């Protein structure tokens, strides 16, 4: 297939693929949220995990070995994520679902912006920042319980019932994948078109999800290991791409 270079052509090709797809699923990563002010993790020179070792800072081991340092490093950043607002790309994906053109959305992000944007069938395979739980008695609390205690000087935040250390309902490094991951795999059965947005496709097991789809569209600022398999590869702003895509689809 002759490579498409012009952004308008890439958008038009994507619109045609969506129209002709019986089942389209989206997979999003950190790059879709950068236009909402949330830095990504793996961009060269600027990604968070380019500067810090994720196992040392955001793993199950880090939480268990030094929970106070775990929260000093992660909680202010996560709190900022919760205050962010959806951007054009988030809203466009919600619009595609509303129009019956998108079956479901799988996200690696914990920021909750797809749900804020109005997407309904969302699988948050790395968890979310809406709740937390006690590692001792498993009691569940709103995520704000973490920030409330932290801001009052209690670090690490603890369970009001048993004083066990609380943990956010996110999938940390070294954690097993949760129920949303299994549900996402179910939705990928029979997927004719997978639209990947803002993911480096470098973190497993999510990085293997493109293998479930017949056709791929990849919208990411940097190359991914799956680019050679994709029908469309757009190294551009997700917001710019999806603004044009909605127009091409008459939405």
Write the burial class of residue 185 (CB in 10 Å: 0-12 exposed, 13-18 middle, 19+ buried): middle
Residues 140 and 249 in one domain: no
Q: Which domain holds residue 152?
A: 40-83+127-170
The CATH number given to whatever domain includes residue 77 is 3.30.1600.10
- Neighbouring-strand partners of residue 142: 131
Q: pLDDT tens digits, residue range 128-185?
A: 999 999 999 999 999 999 999 999 999 999 999 999 999 999 999 999 999 999 999 9
Percent of the chain with pLDDT over 90: 86
Annotated binding-site residue? 132: no
Residues 213 and 95 in one domain: yes
Q: Which of 90, 114, 126, 128 is catalytic?
A: 126
Mean pLDDT of 32-41: 87
Residues 115 and 137 in one domain: no
- Concatenate the DSSP letters of all residues of 12-79 into one string: HHHHHHHHT-SSEEEEE-GGGGGGGT---SSSTTT-HHHHS-HHHHHBHHHHHH-HHHHHHHHHHHHH
pLDDT at 99: 97
- Do the Cβ atoms of 63 and 69 come closer than 8 Å? no
| pLDDT beyond 60 at 30 | yes
Residues 102 and 224 in one domain: yes
pLDDT at 41: 64
| pLDDT beyond 50 at 52 | yes
Percent of the chain with pLDDT over 70: 93
Q: What is the mean pLDDT of the chain?
A: 93
Annotated binding-site residue? 137: yes
Confidence of residue 53 (pLDDT cuts 50, 70, 90): confident
Residues 211 and 157 in one domain: no
Higher pLDDT, 173 or 2: 173
| pLDDT beyond 60 at 60 | yes
Active site residue 126: yes
């Amino acid at each position: 297939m002759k490579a498409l270079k012009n952004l308008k052509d890439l958008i038009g090709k994507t619109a045609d693929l969506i129209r002709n797809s019986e089942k389209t699923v989206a997979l999003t990563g950190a790059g879709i949220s950068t236009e909402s002010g949330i830095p990504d993790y793996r961009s060269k020179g600027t990604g968070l995990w380019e500067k810090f070792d994720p196992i040392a800072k955001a793993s199950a081991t880090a939480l268990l070995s030094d929970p106070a340092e775990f929260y000093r490093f992660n909680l202010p950043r996560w709190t900022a994520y919760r205050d962010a607002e959806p951007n054009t790309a988030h809203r466009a994906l919600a619009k595609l679902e509303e129009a019956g053109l998108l079956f479901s959305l799988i996200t690696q992000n914990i920021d909750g912006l797809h749900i804020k944007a109005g997407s309904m069938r969302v699988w948050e395979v790395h968890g979310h920042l809406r709740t937390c739980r006690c590692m001792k008695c498993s009691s569940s609390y709103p995520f704000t319980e973490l920030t409330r205690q932290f801001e009052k000087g209690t670090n690490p935040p603890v369970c009001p019932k048993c004083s066990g250390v609380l943990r956010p309902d996110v999938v940390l490094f070294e954690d097993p994948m949760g129920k949303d991951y299994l549900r996402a795999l179910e939705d990928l059965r029979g997927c004719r078109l997978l639209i990947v947005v803002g993911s480096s496709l470098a973190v497993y097991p999510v990085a293997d999800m493109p293998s479930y789809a017949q056709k791929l569209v990849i919208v990411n600022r940097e190359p991914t290991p799956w680019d050679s398999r994709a029908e469309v590869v757009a190294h551009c702003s997700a917001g710019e791409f999806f603004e044009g895509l909605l127009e091409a689809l008459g939405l």
